[in-house]
Each structure stands twice: as structure tokens, then as C-alpha cells.
Amino acid sequence: MRCTVIGLGEAGRIYAERLQSHGHDVVGFDVSPIPTPGLRRAESMAEAVAATDAVIVMTTALASIPVARDAAPYLVPGTLYADFTSAAPDAKLALGQVLPAGVRAADIAILGPVIALGAATPLMAAGPGAEAAAGLLRPLGAPVEVVNGALGDAMAHKLLRSIVMKGLAAVICEAVEAGRRAGYEDWVRGQIAAELAGDAHGTIDRFITGSAKHAARRAEEMSAVAGYCHALGAPSHMSAAARDSLLELAGAPVKSA
């Protein structure tokens, strides 16, 4: 199969190389002069996507629709167009209006760190081309979950996951940094590790019910946490945000920062 990879950053190069190693005829396209030894490069969008079987878009989120518009005049019915960008669900849905009729568009959400996991990174696919995308990617070692929905539904799942994954990362970074400045980093790390190793579903239920039941008291505690972080000279963005969230749960006015 001839495959075109648009966007040759680290992730794009990883998938291009994996596709090549599985016998696909791969051509890359990127407006930046990124070195890609061993990968044939197209000089224009027309050269990149004309007569290709599958287009894999690995650009930034902001480039999702512009790339689709640039590629659209050269795509033929039956072409698989898999958008791996982190564009918002409504932008992914708009691909259906931008791409020509008959192009099998797939919304692909990346659910892990590609730099660490390579082509084995878990993916989610939605849209008319979801099954075709899964058929191309699974032989590369990618676990692909197909969502029975429209373009944008895979990305919607990812954004909901990101509330936890990115938010949790920010909270842990803030806690460890405050612990380091206070001289208790090892103890803080131990507390976090113990919590993460517990009963996951039980912890979720406890967080939800406990936060609602004790919102006012916990808001006061988080206000003290934010003040303590400030005294340590440590960031307190997540602690202050938790305070405000708890105040809203308690039906109390949110304090100004």
C-alpha cells in the first residue's frame, strides 16, 4: 500500500519508519526541512497525496483543517485520510465537509506517549475510515479501539482522558515541588505512590462522594495549601484551582486569586 505521512516530527517519523518496515511504500511531506534519512520526500502536497492509498496526518492541531484543505483537491474516492492531530472534536467533524466525497476520513486519538511507546501506542479511531485505519495500523503493533461514532468522537474521548492525565501530572508536579522545597519530597512521593496503587474504582467513588460531602471544609484546607505553597515559593496553580472547584461545589463564592 502507498502511504503518505504528512508532518515529519518525531511521531510522524516513527510511524513512517514502521510502515516502511512492514512493506508499505511510504512518502513523507513536511514544509519544514526536517532530516528524514531513508524516507522519500514529496516536494508538494499534490505529489504527496495524489494516487496514494492512505494519508496519515501527524501535524499540530492548528494545521489539521489547513492541511485537509490543501490536500482535498488531489484526493480521490476510497483514499483513507487518518487525522492523528489533537484538533478539537468540532474540527475533526469539519473534516467531513472539507474532504471530497468518498474519502474515508478517520479521527485518530493518540492515547499515550508515542516517543516512549512508538507505534505500539494505544489509539482510538472514529469516523467513516475508522475500520480501515485500524486495519492499517494494527499490523504495526498498534492497539486500536474503534469507536462506533462520528468524526471527532475519538478526540472527545481523548480530551476527557486528558482532564485526568494532564491534570494529574500537573498536581503531582506541584506537590513534589512543594515537598522538595519543604524538605519532605520523599514522603510526598510515597503518599502519591500509595494512593495510585490503591483500589482505582473505589478511589474514584471516594473522590466524587467525599468532595461533594465535604466541599466547604476541603476548600478551606486547599486555601491553606495554596498559602503554604506561596510561603515556600512553590507554584500553587492546581491547589488554588482545587480550592475554587470545591467552593463551587459548596455553593460558596469563589475567592479572587
pLDDT per residue as tens digits for the range 134-145 = 999 999 999 999
Give yes or no for a contact between 229 and 236, defined as CB atoms under 8 angstroms apart. yes
Burial level of 118, CB count in 10 A (0-12/13-18/19+)? middle
Give the pLDDT score at 218: 93
Backbone φ, ψ for residue 55 (5° rounding): -115, 125
CA–CA separation, 144 vs 108, rounded Å? Answer: 9
Angle made by CA atoms 11, 69, 39, in degrees to the nearest 5: 35
Report the run of H or E that residue 59 belongs to, with start and end: none
Give yes or no for a contact between 152 and 92, defined as CB atoms under 8 angstroms apart. yes
Report the run of H or E that residue 5 belongs to, with start and end: strand 2-6
Q: Is the dihedral of CA 212, 217, 221, 227 positive or negative?
A: positive
Give yes or no for a contact between 67 and 84, defined as CB atoms under 8 angstroms apart. no
Burial level of 48, CB count in 10 A (0-12/13-18/19+)? buried
Torsion of CA 6, 8, 13, 18, to 10 degrees: 10
Give the pLDDT score at 170: 96
Q: What is the pTM of this model?
A: 0.85
Cell 505521512 belongs to 5
Give yes or no for a contact between 71 and 47, defined as CB atoms under 8 angstroms apart. no
* Residue spans of the chain under pLDDT 50: none
